[in-house]
């Protein structure tokens, strides 16, 4: 297989990609979600685990959702869902209210999600934290204190331009303090 690797910041919706979206509007039965693409994606309220017409999910404007695209081509408005093909959530759905959302380039996301990524493993040794990575360049981090959250976010943003040695030095300094 061949693929073209490029450095870009602008995301183009692709079917099956897991992404983090921000709910911008509620229009009847669907939510409008901003995914960082040219158009907003639509998310049906039934596309959550255990959602029925009577049991609607508690989604408000401004919430963060982690889901994947089921329709994404240049001719149609992208559609996303927060369940997988068997109807289970598998970690998708509304992301909690705390934590920090920030944007990075798409290339970094792919680097971080690579099977043998050292950055994530090293960070994982530092503090307990939780992280969600969206293929649209958005990362959400939550740690125990605000300071730790900011530290993790800064490292992730900076490690795009650092070599692995610089990164290890920075992490060593942090683990001392």
Partner 1 sequence: MELGCTHSPCQINAGSVCIRFMQRGLDSETKKQLEEEEKKIISEEHWYLDLPELKEKESFIIEERSFMPCEDLLYGRMSFKGFNPEIEKLMIQMNSRYKKEEIEADDKMEADVSDEEMARRYESLVGTIGKKFLKKRDRHELQDEDEDENSNLRPSNVKKMFLKPQD
Which of 2/28 has CB closer to partner 1? 2
Chain Cα centroid distance, residue 49: 19
Q: What does the alpha-carbon distance between residue 80 and residue 24 come to, in Å, rounded to a whole number?
A: 14
Residue 91 contacts partner 1 per CB under 8 A: yes
Total residues interacting with partner 1, rule: CB under 8 A: 32
Q: What is the nearest approach in angstroms of partner 1 to the Cβ of residue 138?
A: 10
Minimum CB distance to partner 1, residue 59 (Å)? 18
| Element housing 95 (H / E) | strand 93-95
User: Which of 25-33, 36-44, 56-64, 131-139 is the region at the interface with partner 1 (rule: CB under 8 A)?
Assistant: 131-139
Pairing of strands 138-143, 41-44: unpaired
Tell me if 50 contacts partner 1 by CB under 8 A: no
Candidates 90, 105, 162, 167; binder of partner 1 (CB under 8 A) is 90
Pick from 64, 55, 2, 8: nearest CA to 33: 64
Asked if residue 1 binds partner 1 (CB under 8 A), the reply is yes
Which phi and psi angles does 51 have, rounded to 5°?
A: -95, 135
Q: How many CA atoms lie within 13 A of 23 on its CB side?
A: 25
Q: How far apart are CB 58 and partner 1 at their closest, in Å?
A: 18
Out of 7, 16, 28, 75, the only residue in the binding site for partner 1 (CB under 8 A) is 16
Looking only at residues 134 through 153 of this chain, which bind partner 1 when binding is defined by CB under 8 A? 134-135, 142-144
Identify which of 34, 84, 28, 93 has the alpha carbon closest to the alpha carbon of residue 59.
Answer: 93
Tokens of 143: 């740690």
Report the nearest approach of partner 1 to the CB of residue 15 (Å): 7
- 3-state secondary structure at position 160: coil
Contacts with partner 1, residue ranges (CB under 8 A): 1, 3, 12, 14-18, 66, 90-91, 110, 113-115, 117, 120, 123-125, 127-135, 142-144
């Amino acid at each position: 297989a061949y693929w073209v690797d490029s450095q870009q910041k602008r995301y183009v919706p692709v079917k099956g990609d897991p992404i983090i979206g921000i709910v911008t509007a509620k229009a009847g039965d669907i939510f409008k979600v901003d995914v960082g693409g040219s158009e907003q994606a639509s998310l049906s309220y039934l596309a959550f685990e255990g959602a029925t017409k009577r049991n609607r999910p508690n989604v408000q404007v401004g919430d963060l959702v982690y889901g994947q695209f089921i329709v994404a081509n240049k001719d149609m408005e992208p559609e996303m869902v927060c369940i997988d093909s068997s109807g289970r959530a598998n970690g998708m759905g509304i992301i909690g209210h705390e934590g920090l959302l920030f944007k990075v380039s798409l290339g970094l996301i792919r680097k971080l999600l690579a099977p043998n990524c050292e950055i994530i493993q090293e960070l994982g040794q530092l503090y307990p934290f939780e992280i969600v990575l969206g293929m649209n360049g958005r990362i959400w981090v939550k740690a125990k204190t605000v300071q730790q959250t900011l530290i993790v976010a800064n490292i992730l943003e900076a490690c795009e331009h650092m070599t692995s040695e610089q990164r290890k030095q920075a992490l060593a300094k942090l683990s001392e303090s």
